[in-house]
Amino acid sequence: MEHILLKKIEDRAAVSAIIGLGYVGLPLAMELCEAGFRVIGYDVSERVTGLLMRGESHIQDVPAEQVRKHVASGAFIATTDAARLGDADTVSIAVPTPLAKTRDPDMSYVLSASGTVAKHAHPGMLIVLESTTYPGTTRELLQPRLEERGLTVGEDVFLAFSPERVDPGNPVYHTKNTPKVVGGITPACTRVAMAFYQATIDTVVPVSSPEAAELVKLLENTFRSVNIGLVNEMAIVCDRLGVDVWEVIEAAATKPFGFMKFTPGPGIGGHCIPLDPHYLAWKMRSLNYKTRFIDLASEVNSAMPDFVVEKIAWALNDDRKSVKGSRVLVLGVAYKRDIDDMRESPALDVMRLLEERGAVVAYHDPHVPSFREEGHEAFSVDLTDDLLGATDAVVIVTDHKGVDYQRVLDSAPLVIDTRNALARLRPSKARVVTLTSSRNARAANGVTA
């Protein structure tokens, strides 16, 4: 079976299936089409599959033209019919892995997908889990479901884990040129998975087991979470000391070795950094070990929206205004610059906390025209001089490049800049408060350092 499948992959005769056509699955599907494979995209959402079959794209990093080309050629189909998975030679699972309210892993999507795959699995099939999860998932959850069908992993079917490394909005690194880590249940599983990804991805990195591959992704994002937590705490330290944290960071970054630049902000967002470390922490709790760095970083990072709102409250207080009744405009609600992804965005927490204090909150985001949160729908407002002038405070939460920040400075009376977006602009009438502005400081030139 191994040699037959390897030959199919080499000849591009293998049919590839992707389960989950979101930020991970759709870009992978398009790269497989570009590499010459026929791809079946399976998703439970009729809205998503219908959109794609019309040649449209719901993912910012995937151009509609690319989808339209592959749909028209017959290389790509999107379907809600799980039976089509039986036509595939390779299946990549790219479904969400959120956290429950208790911060425990919610494995319902992976369990559902693995059950669906097992139902339609056949000899000569490669199954790869790409969804971020805790070490042991591939071996403990997927392998038994395949073996219940009488399939021997490593002989009849091939099972591996390969963590997704998608960075939405990254202009340099995308699915094809981001190295792909692969770990199979058996050496044969690794060989088949390697051959599959090498047909599409520039660099493929084998590891000894799916557990090692699962842990790679968790280490990557735990590293980022801990370092962001450190620099966020440094921002609080600088605030107490009356020192500009951005000046300190830029000076430290001049060291050519031993320092990696991270920057503070209003919190962390996205599907990876706020969530992935908790998968590792949960797994280790089951082994009676407490992951102290992970827990502390999460505590610091999750408290940043409260820190920002306190900064806003003190800034308004300097103007003899209370938060209650003040008109606050939030600039940027996506979780990071120049994308439309709002998953776990700290802007949502900032807006909620302000509204709980009685503020009248509006937002502007050129990438997010509207969103719905807990039954409440909000719409982006136009950024006009009149709006800025009538606003008591403007809060820069996400520093999209397409926003005219000089206009904001020229028209708004007060700006709270959590991203250092205004550092290189000329001072204007607006009073600017940063993450490390002294609470009662007023600047003679209109800008508080």
Tens digit of each residue's pLDDT (9 = 90 or more) over 43-61:
999 999 999 999 999 999 9
Is 284's pLDDT higher than 80? yes
Would you call 343 exposed, middle or buried from its count of C-beta atoms within 10 A (0-12, 13-18, 19+)? middle
**What is the model's pLDDT at position 444?**
32
Which structure tokens are listed for 373?
């949160």
**What is the model's pLDDT at position 378?**
94
Is 102's pLDDT higher than 80? no
Residue 449 — pLDDT band, cuts 50, 70, 90?
A: very low
The Cα–Cα gap between 219 and 277 comes to: 8
**What is the model's pLDDT at position 375?**
74
Taking residues 171-196, report their average pLDDT.
97
Q: Residue 362 pairs with which residues in a beta bridge?
A: 329
Residue 212 — pLDDT band, cuts 50, 70, 90?
A: very high
User: Tens digits of per-residue pLDDT, 52-97?
Assistant: 999 999 999 999 999 999 999 999 999 999 999 999 999 999 999 9
25 near 19, Cβ under 8 Å?
A: yes
The Cα–Cα gap between 315 and 173 comes to: 39
Selected residue with higher pLDDT from 276 and 439? 276
Q: Which of 222, 225, 220, 275 is nearest to 96 (CA)?
A: 275
Is 446's pLDDT higher than 60? no
Is 103's pLDDT higher than 90? no
181 near 163, Cβ under 8 Å?
A: yes
Residue 426 — pLDDT band, cuts 50, 70, 90?
A: confident
Please indicate whether residue 33 is annotated as part of the active site: no
Q: Looking at domain 243-449, what is its CATH homologous superfamily? A: NAD(P)-binding Rossmann-like Domain (3.40.50.720)
Angle 204-205-207 (CA atoms, 0-180°, nearest 5)? 140
Is 109's pLDDT higher than 50? yes
Q: What's the chain look like in SS3?
A: CHHHHHHHHHHCCCEEEEECCCCCHHHHHHHHHHCCCEEEEECCCHHHHHHHHCCCCCCCCCCHHHHHHHHHHCCEEEECCHHHHHHCCEEEECCCCCECCCCCECCHHHHHHHHHHHHHCCCCEEEEECCCCCCCHHHHHHHHHHHCCCCCECCCEEEEECCCCCCCCCCCCCCCCCCEEEEECCHHHHHHHHHHHHCCCCCEEECCCHHHHHHHHHHHHHHHHHHHHHHHHHHHHHHHHCCCHHHHHHHHCCCCCCCCCCCCCCCCCCCCCCCHHHHHHHHHHCCCCCCHHHHHHHHHHHCHHHHHHHHHHHHHHHCCCCCCCCEEEEECCCCCCCCCCCCCCHHHHHHHHHHHCCCEEEEECCCCCEEEECCEEEECCCCCHHHHHHCCEEEECCCCCCCCHHHHHHHCCEEEECCCCCCCCCCCCCEEEECCCCCCCCCCCCECC
**What is the model's pLDDT at position 273?**
86
Selected residue with higher pLDDT from 440 and 19? 19
Q: Which of 290, 112, 294, 157 is nearest to 221 (CA)?
A: 294
Would you call 245 exposed, middle or buried from its count of C-beta atoms within 10 A (0-12, 13-18, 19+)? buried
Which structure tokens are listed for 303?
């408290």
Selected residue with higher pLDDT from 120 and 441? 120
Q: How big is the chain, counted in residues? A: 449
Taking residues 294-319, report their average pLDDT.
95
User: Tens digits of per-residue pLDDT, 310-344?
Assistant: 999 999 999 999 999 999 999 999 999 999 999 99
Q: Do domains 2-208 and 243-449 have the same CATH topology?
A: yes
Walk across the sheet containing 414-417 and list its strands.
Answer: 360-364, 327-331, 393-396, 414-417, 431-434
Q: Which of 51, 57, 129, 50 is nearest to 96 (CA)?
A: 129
| Catalytic option among 33, 189, 238, 272 | 272
Note the pTM of the prediction, 2 decimals.
0.90
Residue 447 — pLDDT band, cuts 50, 70, 90?
A: very low
Q: What are the domain boundaries of the chain?
A: 2-208, 243-449
Q: Looking at domain 2-208, what is its CATH homologous superfamily? A: NAD(P)-binding Rossmann-like Domain (3.40.50.720)
Residue 396 — pLDDT band, cuts 50, 70, 90?
A: very high
**What is the model's pLDDT at position 47?**
96
Crossing angle of the two packed helices 46-53 and 64-73, in degrees rounded to 10: 80
Q: Residue 417 pairs with which residues in a beta bridge?
A: 396, 434
pLDDT > 70 fraction of the chain, expressed in percent and rounded = 97
**What is the model's pLDDT at position 438?**
57
Query: For all residues of the chain together, what is the average pLDDT?
Result: 93
